[in-house]
Amino acid sequence: MEDLTEMLKGTLEGCVLEIIAGEETYGYAITRRLNDLGFTDVIDGTVYTILLRLERNGLVQVAKRRSEVGPPRKFYTLNEAGRRELATFWSKWEYVSSRIDRLKEAGR
Amino acid sequence: MEDLTEMLKGTLEGCVLEIIAGEETYGYAITRRLNDLGFTDVIDGTVYTILLRLERNGLVQVAKRRSEVGPPRKFYTLNEAGRRELATFWSKWEYVSSRIDRLKEAGR
DNA sequence: TAGTGGTACCCGGTAGTACGAGGTACCAAC
DNA sequence: GTTGGTACCTCGTACTACCGGGTACCACTA
């Protein structure tokens, strides 16, 4: 599936939040996870900008730890504000996607 | 539901295409339709920019007709390219929304 | 020990989209 | 003749994902 970038706007950040909520993880691994989920064209640069935004907005806690296979990793965890943000993301998603699905069903 | 604007990026144009596919209609009515569908904060300026884009991209046919209750209306119909674009929009939507739903389900 | 490949992070600039805030104009009714 | 609803448009802004590039750690090997 090519060129999903416009459709991912506004949802990719929520996906990253959800992945972090699932387990403490780091940028490179998040990119891989998104690619495995089917968002094959999402690149690391995009993920890092999202992570920096999350940090700037005070939604995550960051811990830098050394790795044995490369440079140090920055591990991310959701704080209370991040969990709230994730909850509102899912409620927005529920709201929008249900209405779009309804429009789709109506048209056939 | 407030501030859905980021999440609507990339999907609003598809919604407009679907509405036009349903029946020949015009900008002001499309805005009302979107508001009724639950996208209460979508304003006419946004819809008109989308319609001009559709026209510029050769996806619609336009017919100006006078109204009895106000200024003339520009009625839009999908052409063949527009129907193809609508189909690819729905397939992208299916792809993206199913994967996001899967991510959501996995996380609980 | 120079080179390669995988891991891991970041930055500056660009494109695309929805929105905000205005403006113009037609028509009916009071 | 002013108000309110209808109907269109335009310019600038904010936000987000992407692109292309750079830096650096580590293991392996020619």
| B70 backbone dihedrals φ, ψ, rounded to 5° | 175, -165
Give the domain range for residue B94: 5-102
Report yes or no on A106 lying in a domain.
no
Indicate the residue of A37, A92, A106 with minimum beta-carbon distance to B7: A92
Tokens 């501030």, located at residue:
B3
Instruction: State the total domains in chain A.
Output: 1
Report yes or no on A88 lying in a domain.
yes
Q: What is the pLDDT of residues B92-104, one digit of tens each?
A: 999 999 999 999 9
Contact B30, B19 (CB under 8 A): yes
Contact A20, A60 (CB under 8 A): yes
Q: How far is CA B77 from CA B16, B23, B46, B81, in A?
A: 11, 8, 19, 11
- Check B38 against A99: CB less than 8 A apart: yes
CATH of residue A25: 1.10.10.10
What separation, in Å, do the N-terminal and C-terminal C-alpha atoms of chain B show? 24
Does residue A63 have a pLDDT over 90? yes
**Averaged over A3-11, what is the pLDDT?**
96
Indicate the residue of A10, A22, A100 with minimum beta-carbon distance to B6: A10
Confidence at residue B106, expressed as pLDDT on a 0 to 100 scale: 84
* Measured CA B41 to C1' C22 distance, in angstroms: 18
Contacts of B38 in chain A (CB under 8 A): 95, 99
**Averaged over A57-67, what is the pLDDT?**
95
Report yes or no on B18 lying in a domain.
yes
Report yes or no on A108 lying in a domain.
no
Report yes or no on A83 lying in a domain.
yes
Nucleotides of D under 7 A from a protein CB: 5-12, 15-21, 24-27
Compute the C-alpha angle B42/A50/B105, nearest 5°: 75
Confidence at residue B107, expressed as pLDDT on a 0 to 100 scale: 75
* Measured CA A72 to C1' C4 distance, in angstroms: 21
Report yes or no on B35 lying in a domain.
yes
Does residue A45 have a pLDDT over 90? yes
Report yes or no on B107 lying in a domain.
no
Report yes or no on A91 lying in a domain.
yes
Q: Please name every residue paired with B75 in a beta bridge, in sequence order, or none if there are none.
A: B26, B63
Q: What is the DSSP string of A65-93?
A: E--SSSS-EEEEEE-HHHHHHHHHHHHHH
Confidence at residue B108, expressed as pLDDT on a 0 to 100 scale: 64
Average pLDDT, chain A: 96
